[in-house]
Amino acid sequence: MKVTQAYRFALDPAPSQERALRSHAGAARFAWNWGLAKCKERYEAEGKWYGATDLHKLWNAQKKADPGLAWWEQNSKCAYQEAFRDLDRALRDFIKSRKGQRKGHKLGFPKFKKRGRCRDSFRFSTGTMRCAGTTVTLPRLGTIRTHESTRKLARRLETGSARILSATVSRTAQRWFVSFTVEVERNAPEPHARPGSAIGIDLGVTTLLTGVDDTGTIITAPGPRPLRASLRKLRRASRAHSRKTPGSANRRKHAARLARIHARVSHLRADALHKATTTLAARYQTVVAEDLNVAGMVRNRRMARAISDQGFGAARRMLGYKTGWHGGQLILADRFYPSSKTCSACGTAKAKLALSERVFTCESCGLVLDRDQNAARNLLSLAASGAERLNACGAAVRPGPAGHAALNQEPGTAPAGKTGTADGQPAAAGSENSYAH
């Protein structure tokens, strides 16, 4: 079974290599802006724009004709070509979004990129790409030291169970990273080691996650201490930054500091989520979680930070493919299923439950329970009904108490009450960082 996975490594480039990295990122930015200008020009005249292949042809003609562009040779031709592809994709996504064919928030028309105001990034899709020990080798850039060992990927490359499809180099705060998109040969999942085991999990705002399993055991992941400490630091740095005069050198200094802390927080968060979801997928055959409308929730400004911090979307994605790897399944309760507002003892649903109410109190049966535990219990009960059905009959069944079945299910996931084949193709999204825990 082939799956696409990403491996990401922090780089420790020599000064000359760092200059080459910046030059390539500049080339990609230039190509994007050049292509966008061409597309706009043509759109005004003919009502359509250029595709990636046409842009590449135009660019090849112009770079030879225009002596002002002679510097192009200092960078790999991939940097330009991939930027045209990105632009092509952005234009298509814009159209899809406008027609309502794309999930998530509305996309605007692609914008020109400004140095220092955009993400420094470029990509290789051909040429020598490999890794060994604490080095990676990339076209034109040669061998660059990495911050940590690359053995997870190197071992797979050696045995031939992985193939690098592309390498994206990008800068976050002051650090450069390479992310390899890799096609990995994985064994078809064996049946789950603990058949019949199930857990309902509530992804929390204050704790990373709270779960209740089929034996009634409560599992909580509070999030690692360094993450919580970094979050406090982030709040302070963010306040300090906003007090500085816009445009001042002091503000720029604080912005760089803020960006460094942000990068650390997101790394720690991803790491914690990877650990927690790996354990869950290995231990439980069926994991039930809520299908949260993350895009909708992030619009709520007060909760925005907390939610993006905990990375709900990322957690759901990880659970989707990891349960698949272990021969299990992820069941997503519909986003309208009131898991928090329903009493897990008697089933009475409250009309309203403020987020600040951390304890669930049932007016009908008198149950008093931690809010997250109550939600996890409700989700677990969905697992029981969903899992039984799944074993009893192989065909699709009517959605259960969760109501509407979730749309656009991801590989390795099954909406509550529907038959799910966890052995779909649990492919990690190309942009996602796999730490392969």
Residues that bind Zn ion (CB under 5 A): 343, 345-346, 348, 362, 364-365, 367
For residues 62 and 323, give the distance between their C-alpha atoms in angstroms, rounded to a whole number. Answer: 50
**Beta carbon of residue 229, minimum distance to Zn ion (angstroms, whole number):** 38
Could you please report the per-residue DSSP string of 363-428?
Answer: TTT--EEEHHHHHHHHHHHHHHHHHHHHHH-SS-----TT-SPPSSPPTTEEETTS---TTS--PP
Helix and strand numbers, DSSP H then E, in the chain: 10, 15
**Beta carbon of residue 377, minimum distance to Zn ion (angstroms, whole number):** 11
Bridge pairing between strands 359-361 and 175-185: unpaired
**Beta carbon of residue 150, minimum distance to Zn ion (angstroms, whole number):** 54
Bridge pairing between strands 175-185 and 368-370: unpaired
Query: Looking at beta carbons only, is 277 or 378 nearer to Zn ion?
Result: 378
**Beta carbon of residue 333, minimum distance to Zn ion (angstroms, whole number):** 19
What separation, in Å, do the N-terminal and C-terminal C-alpha atoms of the chain show? 19
Catalytic residue of the set 88, 213, 214, 290: 290
Residues 6+ apart with CB under 8 A from 419: 389, 390, 393, 394, 395, 396, 397
For residues 397 and 160, give the distance between their C-alpha atoms in angstroms, rounded to a whole number. Answer: 41
Q: Could you confirm whether 88 is annotated as catalytic?
A: no
**Beta carbon of residue 196, minimum distance to Zn ion (angstroms, whole number):** 27
User: Residue 428 is encoded by which pair of tokens?
Assistant: 């990690």
Query: Looking at beta carbons only, is 195 or 347 nearer to Zn ion?
Result: 347
Greatest alpha-carbon span in the chain: 81
Q: Edge-to-edge strands of the sheet including 329-333?
A: 218-221, 209-213, 198-203, 286-290, 329-333, 413-415
Query: Looking at beta carbons only, is 44 or 363 nearer to Zn ion?
Result: 363
Catalytic residue of the set 202, 214, 410, 432: 202
Contact predicate 124/113, CB 8 Å: no
Residue 322 Cα distances to 172, 195, 326, 354, 409, angstroms: 27, 16, 6, 33, 15
Could you please report the per-residue DSSP string of 216-238?
Answer: --EEEE---HHHHHHHHHHHHHH
Q: Could you confirm whether 290 is annotated as catalytic?
A: yes
Query: Looking at beta carbons only, is 126 or 364 nearer to Zn ion?
Result: 364
**Beta carbon of residue 286, minimum distance to Zn ion (angstroms, whole number):** 25
Catalytic residue of the set 88, 213, 372, 432: 372
Query: Looking at beta carbons only, is 248 or 364 nearer to Zn ion?
Result: 364
Query: Looking at beta carbons only, is 293 or 348 nearer to Zn ion?
Result: 348
Query: Looking at beta carbons only, is 179 or 342 nearer to Zn ion?
Result: 342
Residue 400 Cα distances to 352, 387, 411, angstroms: 23, 11, 20
**Beta carbon of residue 358, minimum distance to Zn ion (angstroms, whole number):** 17
Number of C-beta neighbours around residue 354 at 10 A: 6
Q: Could you confirm whether 86 is annotated as catalytic?
A: no
Could you give the residue numbers annotated as active site? Answer: 202, 290, 372
